[in-house]
Structure 1
């Protein structure tokens, strides 16, 4: 097969790559706690999630990107990048043909078996999966080192941290709002307390009603949501993604008019690209969510 032949060709160069890494001058830790080492700043980068593309551009490395996955549409220049599949199904032959010296991967979004094949070829992988708001800044700085664009990355991280700090100061004393965050409606899915969105909820003075569940993205029942009786329900709306893409709906909750979120009119939608992609634009998504929770507070009986 052509794919296997391509992979074999790159495998032949693994020894050379290993020799270069023996004298590595750049070393950072990624979000999986693994060391990523390069002998020089990366020149050809493939990003395997839309948020990884955003991080690379924000860190000053947009000109180094040579490949991306579907829905990588921000900034606008990213739309012209060659596609190497989507989050779940990567075109390994295409990735190899692009000759990357760094691949930014999404730890829990990409197929681990495919990542293992890239790793076996000696390609440097940086796992990006921010779990706390400040992890976005940490990723920016780490990528800036790997890309040789530290001044731009440091500036982007400082700007992002400033915006998050301002939101934290503004909403720190607000009354708590219990919240159900709906990822999808069929099956009904949410996020637990270790997901970065839950950190945003906390920042805004919210309380994730399913924070204690074990899976990162748990499936829950309608009855369990009704029993939790959240004061607000939040989902995502269309952002930069195609208008015809399937999105979760809140309409079904009107069948439960006594549930507090429904009775008080606290069914909200936040731009999905701003809150689901853990990049610098999370500050904008957080601001939207914080405003929505303020509306929920205003809806409380006087």
Structure 2
């Protein structure tokens, strides 16, 4: 009986030791994250400490500061990534398509996340949660975001909707389509994106098209100044210009609506506040 009890005790101690080893920081899975959206999702799920490498654009939240830099969004130091020996490298679309393929050829596990809609972003939260062992936290975050998005959307129901022109670049002029992530946020928050259809989600537009669209509000991320905007040829006829409803990064930070991550709800609230300001001035 004593022998059995002693063996049982030894087995329990061994299992406890193994469990502790698995949970120790030195033995946790480690990740390199090249996409700022995914970095924000991983941090929101409570796994920022498991991130060992990031790109320069992964600048939020504070818990990511001090991580090893592996390059910029479109220019990755492959040797640096390999030296970190991550379990998974999280990538995005666009310039990172080729980077993803190169990493896979090297035998590195890659997960590409490039949500183009709010629904896709919510699903990506679940996928990423499963990959990093945060399924429960991911489900909670998804439900929290869904609830907030529904509340903001419902609060805009029945209210007048300003036409919104969002300018990404000045030369050439570029804006967003409805089927882009940014365009969807503009609509869900209570506005009307003036370019419902473009050849791509983010595409060139002509100045004449902006004038014809007659937006009530302009959000400028092209680093142009208000003084320059109001003097653009023919733009003095645009309601947004005439009524000075022109907004910049200091009014609504681009990361809040251009990054398909948890902070998009903050971006929606900021958009909704700008719409209310427009309503107060025009009604």
The interval holding the TM-score normalised by the smaller chain is 0.7 to 0.9
Does the Cα contact within 8 Å between 2:43 and 2:63 map onto a contact in 1?
no
Q: Does 1:296 align with 2:272?
A: no
Of the two, which has the highest radius of gyration?
2
1:261-272 equivalences in 2 (<5 Å): 261-269=240-248, 270-272=252-254
1:52 to 6, 16, 38: 38
1:247 to 223, 236, 239: 223
* Structure 1: segments with no counterpart, 5+ residues: 1-41, 237-245
Aligned-partner Cα distance in 2 for 1:48–1:186: 27
Q: Which residue of the partner structure matches residue 259 of structure 2?
A: 277
Does the Cα contact within 8 Å between 1:61 and 1:144 map onto a contact in 2?
no
2:145 to 136, 156, 160: 160
1:34-49 equivalences in 2 (<5 Å): 43-49=29-35
Q: By percentage of residues, which structure has more helix?
A: 2
* Structure 2: segments with no counterpart, 5+ residues: 1-27
Listed one character per residue, the Cα deviations across residues 66-90 of structure 1 (whole Å, up to 9, x for unaligned) are 1110132211021111111111111
Q: Which residue of the partner structure matches residue 6 of structure 2?
A: none
Aligned-partner Cα distance in 2 for 1:248–1:98: 40
Question: Which deviates more, 128-137 or 147-156?
Answer: 128-137
Aligned-partner Cα distance in 2 for 1:248–1:125: 38
- CA distance 1:48–1:251, shift in 2 (3 Å): farther
1:151-300 equivalences in 2 (<5 Å): 151-236=136-221, 247-255=223-231, 256-269=235-248, 270-300=252-282
TM, length-normalised to structure 2: 0.82
1:68 to 34, 54, 58: 54
Does the Cα contact within 8 Å between 1:47 and 1:69 map onto a contact in 2?
yes
Shift of 1:250: 4.3
Listed one character per residue, the Cα deviations across residues 115-163 of structure 1 (whole Å, up to 9, x for unaligned) are 2111222322222222222332221111111001112222222222221
**Partner of 2:198: helix, strand, or coil?**
coil
Aligned-partner Cα distance in 2 for 1:182–1:219: 10
Which structure 1 residue ranges, 4+ long, deviate > 6 Å from structure 2? none
- CA distance 1:56–1:251, shift in 2 (3 Å): farther
Listed one character per residue, the Cα deviations across residues 145-189 of structure 1 (whole Å, up to 9, x for unaligned) are 100111222222222222111101111222222111111222221
Does the Cα contact within 8 Å between 1:102 and 1:123 map onto a contact in 2?
yes
TM, length-normalised to structure 1: 0.78
The count of aligned residue pairs is 251
Shift of 1:200: 0.6
